[in-house]
Amino acid sequence: MRFKIDQNLPSEYAALLRQAGFEADTLDEEGLSGAEDLVISEHGRMGGWALVTLDLGFSDIRSYPPREYSGIVVVRSKAQDKITLLSILRRLILALRERSPARQLWIVEPDRIRYREG
């Protein structure tokens, strides 16, 4: 499974996903820093990678129908400090060992993960 980490998340997300056996890098590494959401989503769709982001705009299934993507993972947390976000990533990695976000929208919260197809 391939992931791109949005610039609004700690860059350690990519490193930890790689350590867990996944292919991952950041949008900055792809030269997409500051790109519009539509540009990011099209690169994801064409490149076959799942996006991991804090951007709630990607949770709009009318604009970003999950069935058209290799996965959209939106991290939701009231606290967005690095320690909290890395803790949420650890929860995400456990879930990724069990299932793939391909063609799904995942909302990853500190205490649960919601899955939506469509």
53 strand-pairing partners: 74
Band (pLDDT 50/70/90 cuts) for residue 31 is: confident
Q: Tell me the whole-structure pTM to 2 decimals.
A: 0.94
What's the pLDDT at 15? 95
Mean pLDDT, the chain, whole residue set: 94
Class of residue 112 by CB neighbours under 10 A (exposed 0-12, middle 13-18, buried 19+): exposed
- Alpha carbon separation from 93 to 16, 32, 37, 74, 85 (Å, rounded): 9, 24, 24, 14, 12
80 neighbors 54 (Cβ within 8 angstroms): yes
Structural domain including 33 reads 2-117
Strands 104-108 and 72-75 turn out to be parallel
- The CB density around residue 76, as the number of other CB atoms within 10 Å, is 15
Looking at per-residue pLDDT, the higher value among 117 and 103 belongs to 103
What's the pLDDT at 93? 97
Band (pLDDT 50/70/90 cuts) for residue 117 is: confident
Count structural domains, the chain: 1
Q: Any idea what the CATH number is for the domain that residue 45 is in?
A: 3.40.50
pLDDT for residue 114 is more than 80: yes
For residue 7, give every residue at least 6 positions away whose Cβ sits within 8 Å of its Cβ, in sequence order, or none. 26, 27, 28, 33, 34
